[in-house]
Amino acid sequence: MEKKKLQSFISTDANEQWPDFSPDGRWLAYCSDRTGRNEIYLRSFPEGDKEIVISNNGGVAPLWSPDGRELFYRDLTWKKLIKVDIKTQPELSMGLPQVLFEHAGGGGNPIRAYDITPDGQKFLYFVGTVYKPIGVTKLTLVQNWFDELRRLAPPGER
């Protein structure tokens, strides 16, 4: 059996995450913080010689539509889903990012925490449990509690 050597596709000091291949396998969408802010990038595959910034105001967790005509990602607050129209054939071209809809939020790292149905018509989101603080029902105020402590447990006595 032939042993194959692993080779890095992207190797930088930045944090690259959430990789997602286009349906035709020619482009890799991913997030990188190399500029100091998470942004969405496309890189040609397998050559890796072409790279394009997709987001224009930060972004995380990219996801291709099943037909490869759209790329979705979440804004940095995780509360907006952004859509960019993409054309990969014969050359890559793209539209401007636009908010598709807003939602309750909820992140996912290292997973995307959302997906699209195979027909491209619905999104599925993981929504975590929201905990509401318990209201204060009783408050006991103890004044001069050091005096009461000394009375009940005088120093030096055991």
Distance CA 137, CA 9 (A): 58
Query: The tokens 């447990």 sit on which residue?
Result: 153
Residue 76 resides in a domain = yes
CB atoms inside a 10 Å sphere around CB 42: 23
Residue 125, pLDDT score: 82
Residue of higher predicted confidence among 53 and 141: 53
99 forms bridges with which residues in the sheet? 82
The number of folded domains in the chain is 1
Residue 74 resides in a domain = yes
Cis peptide before 62 (omega within 30 of 0): no
Residue 130, pLDDT score: 66
Residue 80, pLDDT score: 92
Residue 121 resides in a domain = yes
Q: Return the CATH number at 31.
A: 2.120.10.30
Residue 136 resides in a domain = no
What domain range is 77 assigned to?
Answer: 16-129
Residue 141 resides in a domain = no
Residue 152 resides in a domain = no
pLDDT in tens, 8-26: 777 788 888 999 999 999 9
| Model pTM score | 0.74
Report the SS3 class of residue 21. Answer: strand
Residue 157, pLDDT score: 63
Residue 124 resides in a domain = yes
Distance CA 147, CA 51 (A): 72
pLDDT in tens, 39-88: 999 999 988 889 999 998 999 999 999 999 999 999 998 889 999 999 88
pLDDT in tens, 116-138: 999 999 988 877 666 677 787 88
E strand segments, 76-133: 80-87, 93-94, 98-102, 114-116, 123-125
Residue 53 resides in a domain = yes
